[in-house]
Chain A
Amino acid sequence: QQPVQSPQAVILREGEDAVINCSSSKALYSVHWYRQKHGEAPVFLMILLKGGEQKGHEKISASFNEKKQQSSLYLTASQLSYSGTYFCGTEDMRFGAGTRLTVKP
């Protein structure tokens, strides 16, 4: 079953923050995050395995809640290069519908 992502789209100015959410009706073993730039293949960002886990880089990070049914991707001080469509995926290789992020100068 596909996880549910929100929002469907978000438009930011450079330097603004964004949060993308991913939820499942059942507990997951893991959640994966990918980014797809226009015209390119999706590229892996990170995977979260444990309830309560938070990981990532300084400006792109993610969390996985204790019940392992929700994950959020945090983009801080966004840059133009962050533009693209973000997908969350589950251990059985299902993906959400995606969140299109546009960062404007």
Chain B
Amino acid sequence: DVKVTQSSRYLVKRTGEKVFLECVQDMDHENMFWYRQDPGLGLRLIYFSYDVKMKEKGDIPEGYSVSREKKERFSLILESASTNQTSMYLCATKLFTGTGGYNEQFFGPGTRLTVL
């Protein structure tokens, strides 16, 4: 079974803090993604990575950065957390088999981040 783990299920931080959300997968998938999920807005893509040390901006990258030093690990960084970044954050992975993206994504359990 594909396993995608996220470092915390619940996290509470203060405004201005630097926050790290970690995602680790054990299936050797090339592609990894970070989404935030908010009621009524669904899953919105923040950043994704096609390979180690590669990253691409998604639809809402402002206020976030990412790091992928190893294939199995993809980190989301909130440089200076703000209250509007309170949300559920989901990591996902996908096997790459050429252009077209025809493989399913596997999601982690999510991290519910509250910024006070």
Contacts and interface: CB of A to CB of B under 8 A. Distances in A.
A89 B59 CA distance: 14
Interface string A92-103: 111111100000
Interface residues of A, number: 24
B102 A42 contact: no
Interface in B82-104: 90, 92, 94, 100-102, 104
A2 B110 contact: no
A85 B110 CA distance: 15
Contacts of A95: 35, 42-45
A49 interface: yes
Interface of B is mostly: strand
Contact of A41 (B41, B45, B110): B110
Contact of A42 (B45, B94, B107): B107
Contacts of A32: 104-105
A64 interface: no
A91 interface: yes
Contact of B41 (A29, A30, A97): A97
B102 A30 contact: yes
Interface in B29-44: 33, 35, 40-44
Contacts of B4: 41
Given A96-B42, A97-B41, A44 B104 contact: yes
Interface in B18-60: 33, 35, 40-45, 48, 59
6 contacts: A8-B40, A43-B107, A47-B102, A93-B48, A94-B59, A95-B35
